[in-house]
Amino acid sequence: MADVFDRVKQIIVERLDVDEAKVTKEASFKDDLEADSLDVVELVMELEDEFDMEISDEDAEKIQTVGDAVDYIDSNQ
Amino acid sequence: MLDGKVALVTGASRGIGRAIALELAQKGANVVVNYAGSQERAESVVQEIQDLGQEAIAVKANVANADEVKQLVKSTTDQFGSIDILVNNAGITRDNLLMRMKEDEFDDVIETNLKGVFNCIKTVTRPMMKQRGGKIVNVASVVGVSGNPGQTNYVAAKAGVIGMTKSVAKELAARHINVNAVAPGFITTDMTDALSEEAKQGMHDMIPLNRLGEPEDVAKVVRFLASSDSDYITGQTIHVDGGMVM
């Protein structure tokens, strides 16, 4: 589990240029990590590549926090 | 000017699309020649591009069908590894007076000329966002600005394309994807050859520059909008119509 979280965190830190300490499971992309909606779309695209999976538009819309992304990946891999 | 760039041109087997494909190739781009009907004509455009020393492939796809568009874009990135330029040119006409226009005449034109543009833009956005840049050029029409009797469906679609160009330009500007449109006037193609002599003469009389346009007139502006020379232009519709609509 930690493995998925670390990989997700790495991508977020690089893409959004945020401090690693801010990337907690509870962190909201928009409120805490200052991502706009297009940033989130891009993040989801990168996660799809990193974890070799497809995330539907409906599911992607439900991903609000770092934890949402990690949980989605964990339960769909 | 476009050396090493990869361009996808929809409806490129003839008319304005063909001229655009050749113009981009002439400036160094490799081109995917999309077509819906005539494979033979598409293959001959591919041959002409190869004669210019560029790479090209012909790919059949109906732009109104989202799945076919996905395959079209996949063929492009599989073959060339990227997609730098999308030219939405594919279009049809089903002209009729409003009172006589059947629902499917309206729907067919909207599906191809408006939703087709949406399908293609949506699908290329992903690879373009990853590349951190791209150029999208939509072929609209001056009738989308001025209106035209007998073309309620076509004009609605083309006006829609102009609006879509602006929205998408705003959405993708932060990702260095420029989205612009050209609005051709009366250009000599198979589509306009089908008009009556009177209709043609009538159009001619409305053109201040006093001649009909050639597909190459449009292609040169598309080439400009597809190149880095237009990096500071987005969301615009450039009329290529001899001054017909100002």
| Residue A24 structural domain | 4-76
- Asked if pLDDT for residue B226 goes beyond 80, the answer is yes
Task: Kindly give the confidence (pLDDT) of every residue in chain A, 77 residues in length, as a single tens digit, with 9 standing for 90 and above.
Answer: 458 999 999 999 998 999 999 999 999 999 999 999 889 998 999 999 899 998 988 899 999 999 999 999 999 87
The mean pLDDT value for B75-84 works out to 97
Q: What CATH number has the domain spanning B6-239? A: 3.40.50.720
Query: Could you give the CA distance from residue B23 to residue B181 in angstroms, rounded to a whole number?
Result: 17
Six token digits for residue B11? 């409806």
Comparing alpha-carbon positions, the chain A residue that sits nearest to B171 is A38
Residues whose CB is less than 8 angstroms from the CB of residue B229 and which lie 6 or more positions away in sequence, other chains included: B1
- Asked if pLDDT for residue B118 goes beyond 90, the answer is yes
- Asked if pLDDT for residue B107 goes beyond 90, the answer is yes
- Asked if pLDDT for residue B189 goes beyond 90, the answer is no
Query: Could you give the CA distance from residue B1 to residue A71 in angstroms, rounded to a whole number?
Result: 47
Residues whose CB is less than 8 angstroms from the CB of residue B236 and which lie 6 or more positions away in sequence, other chains included: B165, B180, B181
The mean pLDDT value for B140-153 works out to 96
Chain A residues closer than 8 Å to B175 by CB: 38
- Asked if pLDDT for residue B101 goes beyond 60, the answer is yes
The mean pLDDT value for B84-95 works out to 97
CATH code for position A49: 1.10.1200.10
Chain A residues closer than 8 Å to B124 by CB: none
Confidence at B30, pLDDT banded by 50, 70, 90: very high
Chain B residues closer than 8 Å to A41 by CB: 129
pLDDT of A2: 55
Confidence at B195, pLDDT banded by 50, 70, 90: confident
Mutation test of the interface with chain A: which of B130, B170, B172, B176, choosing the one with the most A Cβ atoms within 10 A?
Answer: B130
Neighbour-count burial for B46-72, b at 16+ CB within 10 Å, e otherwise:
bebbeeeebebbbbbbbbbbeebbeeb
Here the contacts of B122-128 (C-beta below 8 Å, separation 24 or greater) are B123/B66, B123/B69, B123/B70, B123/B72, B123/B73, B124/B8, B124/B73, B124/B83, B124/B86, B125/B172, B125/B177, B126/A45, B127/B73, B127/B77, B127/B82, B127/B83, B128/B83, B128/B84, B128/B86, B128/B172, B128/B175, B128/B177
Q: Do A38 and B130 touch (CB under 8 A)?
A: no
The answer for B 133-172 residues in CB contact with A (under 8 A) is 171
pLDDT of B141: 97
The number of distinct structural domains making up chain A is: 1
pLDDT of B117: 98
ipTM for the complex?
A: 0.77
- Nearest 10 degrees: Cα torsion B56, B58, B62, B65: -60
- Domains in chain B: boundaries: 6-239
